[in-house]
Chain A
Amino acid sequence: MGEPPVNASLPPSAETEAPIRVVLAKLGFDGHDRGLKVVARTLRDAGMEVIYLGLRQTTDSIVAACEQEDADVIGLSMHNAGHLTLAPRMVQAVDQAGLDVPVVIGGIVPADDVPTLTDSGVAAVIGPGASAEEVVSAVKASVSRQAASQ
């Protein structure tokens, strides 16, 4: 059967310009989502598509959302000091599902914990004082590193 050749006529546009899709969530039971909303707007303003899951998510619900939404990266917000258990658990769940999606965490994470987290497979840790640019570039960098490693 004669198939149209790939890339025959259409502009290269969409394939390369497609926005980064971020699944943004808070894991576990902690309080409010004000910080998460700020991050959502920051990433949107940087041209990303933010799939906003909000509060009280589980590793399973986040993995399911990633699969359905074909997300490029997971952004998790942590404020309840559970990051040392929750973040590695998220990374594990992603690995177990066979997904190639980096996990970036933000929120109140003590600097001392950062090495432990990155050792456990977290792609980037965004500290509480990070600027909008730092947030955006951490997310972008984790996506391109992941793409390069494939």
Chain B
Amino acid sequence: MLDYAEPVTKLIDEFKRLPGVGQKSAQRLAFHILRMPEQDVARFVAAMEEVKRKIVFCTVCNNLTDVDPCRYCSSTSRDRSIICVVEEPYNLVAVEKTRGYHGLYHVLHGSLSPIRGMSPDDLRLQNLLPRLRPENNDGIEVREVILATNPNTEGEATASYISRLLKPLGVRVTRIAMGMPVGSDLEYVDEVTMDKAMANRHEM
């Protein structure tokens, strides 16, 4: 016999499919839903359906968007000669928040990781190379590709793989620097970060 009535069990099972949700959390969420007013549940369901219906991958940069091409790709005020490559849409948001970058983006939706079954074929890379041709970029030549993948072994491997693809095309390929968090004292920086910052020091 099931612990709970069938509809409740079904809901718990659905929650358990979500990342990071175990049996206990799934139960808690399911019972929370049971206690919610009906119109709140309806709004929640509508929001999930809407996101699935309206959000697509931008065919140019793979960013999540409700218009294709996305707002960055179709903007007339952005610098079309620079492309910043990131792993996930939320990495794009992080770069964008700096307000200091005005180029275009390319979202890979992952990083190279044989352990997790992520090969170059599983990254959204196929549409990156064609973007470098002026005829696909409003007649503008891309002069720099910034690799802003994560500073871990998978992010490094991804950056290295892409730079090997792009270098023969003659485009400038750069990697974001790793090191000190700004606004903190040297003494509070952990040794690994300090070590990286020392290794990546630059001429003044």
Physical interaction between A and B = no
